[in-house]
């Protein structure tokens, strides 16, 4: 194989054999894209030397189409895992990436995906330090699947989660919802509509770090209670799970939840609820009430949090239920959606 490969060259089954073709593929595509001293050793396990508590997560990414307005499967793979670590208040230390590539996949397309992954990893401040590659026969995969695994160092001393949430806590959303799902739907062309919507796919550690710092400064060490990114199932699922697991109620103001006119139009056209649509660049933050204003201000000052706002609060009333206050003065219960509105959005 030449240094850059032949234009139009495609993945062969031999690229997954573990022999020379495999080694050339790893060096020419993956090591070239993700270059760092740890990866370049090509060890079976990367040695990291953090201090403190460790978070560990993994996620598989099977989105179609592979490229969509606002991102691609590569950006999604890195951002999704960084964001999963961020929900544990964990600074990302290193990522692993495993690729399942269908025979016939274009090498240039693989290079483009890896370049996108590398750029997103640099933005998130985390190296891709190890990985694996498998090549399967034509028809055995949908072009390309990527699984990313992340290790991070937790920056808070207390346990986050539903058990930490208290009556009166503030519920904060970092920005508008539904953009990712609508961008994917539009890119697929399954429905005859146009939507000027870009996926919100983005790494959110910087946003979460700002939120944690602001909460600590204004409400004390344990002021941040809960972090979650509303991906599949959207905002409704996150809130419904939180209410159920905490045995507390949640009150949410519908008018406080940002939804772009384009997303709302598509939802009106197709009968979707924007609160159940997937996001890949948003974070739900629950904090002590006295820290809420400072957290909102800190998140708004970050690259991906300019639309952050307080959307509701936790209450001891109606435990296990999420009540949405509508603009008409009525309330409706937000139940966890059943099934998938949009398959393969992440």
Write down the pLDDT at residue 344.
57
**Domain annotation covers residue 315:** yes
Query: Average of pLDDT values for 194-217?
Result: 95
Indicate if the pLDDT at residue 2 is higher than 50: no
Same domain, residue pair 188 and 218: yes
Same domain, residue pair 207 and 262: yes
The structural domain count of the chain equals: 2
Residues with Cβ within 8 Å of residue 260, at least 6 apart in sequence: 176, 178, 179, 197
In this structure, are residues 1 and 8 in contact, taking their beta carbons and an 8 Å threshold? no
Among 133, 154, 175, give the residue marking a domain's end. 154
Among 127, 154, 181, give the residue marking a domain's end. 154
Check which CATH number belongs to the domain holding 144 and give it.
3.30.1330.10
Same domain, residue pair 262 and 169: yes
Write down the pLDDT at residue 38.
81
Write down the pLDDT at residue 17.
62
| Residue 173, CA distances (Å) to 190, 259, 339, 346 in order | 30, 12, 24, 20
**Domain annotation covers residue 2:** no
**Domain annotation covers residue 5:** no
Same domain, residue pair 170 and 288: yes
Q: What is the pLDDT of residues 256-267, one digit of tens each?
A: 999 999 999 999
Same domain, residue pair 167 and 301: yes
Among 136, 154, 172, give the residue marking a domain's end. 154
Write down the pLDDT at residue 1.
35
CA distance 256 to 317: 21
Give the orientation angle of helix 205-219 with respect to helix 292-300, to 10 degrees: 150
pLDDT band, residue 68 (cuts 50/70/90) = very high
Same domain, residue pair 170 and 149: no
Indicate if the pLDDT at residue 42 is higher than 80: no
Write down the pLDDT at residue 5.
52
> pTM above the 0.85 mark?
yes
Which residues span the domain enclosing 167?
A: 162-333
**Domain annotation covers residue 342:** no
Q: What is the pLDDT of residues 169-197, one digit of tens each?
A: 999 999 999 999 999 998 988 777 777 89
Q: What is the pLDDT of residues 303-334, one digit of tens each?
A: 999 999 999 999 999 999 999 999 998 999 99
CA distance 134 to 141: 11
> What mean pLDDT value characterizes the chain?
91
Indicate if the pLDDT at residue 254 is higher than 80: yes
Same domain, residue pair 173 and 90: no
């Amino acid at each position: 194989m030449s240094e850059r490969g032949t234009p139009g060259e495609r993945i062969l089954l031999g690229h997954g054999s573990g022999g020379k073709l495999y080694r050339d593929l790893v060096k020419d595509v993956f090591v070239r894209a993700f270059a760092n001293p740890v990866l370049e050793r090509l060890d079976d396990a990367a040695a990291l030397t953090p201090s403190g508590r460790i978070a560990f997560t993994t996620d598989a990414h099977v989105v179609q189409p592979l490229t969509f307005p606002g991102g691609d499967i590569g950006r999604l793979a890195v951002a999704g895992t960084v964001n999963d670590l961020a929900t544990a208040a964990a600074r990302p230390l290193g990522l692993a990436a495993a690729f399942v590539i269908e025979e016939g996949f274009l090498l240039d397309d693989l290079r483009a995906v890896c370049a996108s992954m590398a750029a997103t990893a640099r933005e998130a401040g985390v190296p891709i330090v190890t990985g694996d590659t498998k090549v399967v026969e034509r028809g055995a995969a949908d072009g390309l699947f990527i699984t990313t695994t992340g290790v991070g160092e937790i920056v808070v001393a207390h346990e986050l989660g539903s058990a930490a949430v208290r009556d009166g806590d503030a519920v904060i959303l970092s920005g508008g919802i539904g953009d990712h799902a609508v961008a994917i739907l539009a890119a697929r062309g399954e429905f005859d509509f146009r939507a000027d919507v870009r996926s919100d796919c983005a790494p959110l550690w910087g946003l979460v770090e700002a939120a944690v710092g602001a909460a600590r400064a204004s409400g004390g060490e344990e002021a941040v209670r809960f972090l979650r990114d509303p991906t599949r199932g959207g905002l409704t699922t996150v809130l419904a799970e939180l209410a159920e697991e905490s045995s507390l109620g949640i009150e949410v103001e519908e008018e406080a939840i940002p939804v772009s006119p384009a997303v709302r139009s598509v939802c009106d056209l197709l009968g979707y609820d924007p609160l159940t649509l997937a996001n890949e660049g948003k974070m739900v933050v629950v904090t002590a009430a006295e820290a809420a204003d400072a957290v909102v201000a800190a998140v708004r000052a970050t690259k991906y949090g300019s639309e952050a706002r307080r959307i509701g609060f936790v209450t001891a009333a109606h435990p296990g239920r999420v009540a949405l206050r509508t603009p008409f003065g009525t309330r409706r219960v937000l139940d966890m959606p059943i099934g998938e509105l949009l398959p393969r959005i992440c």
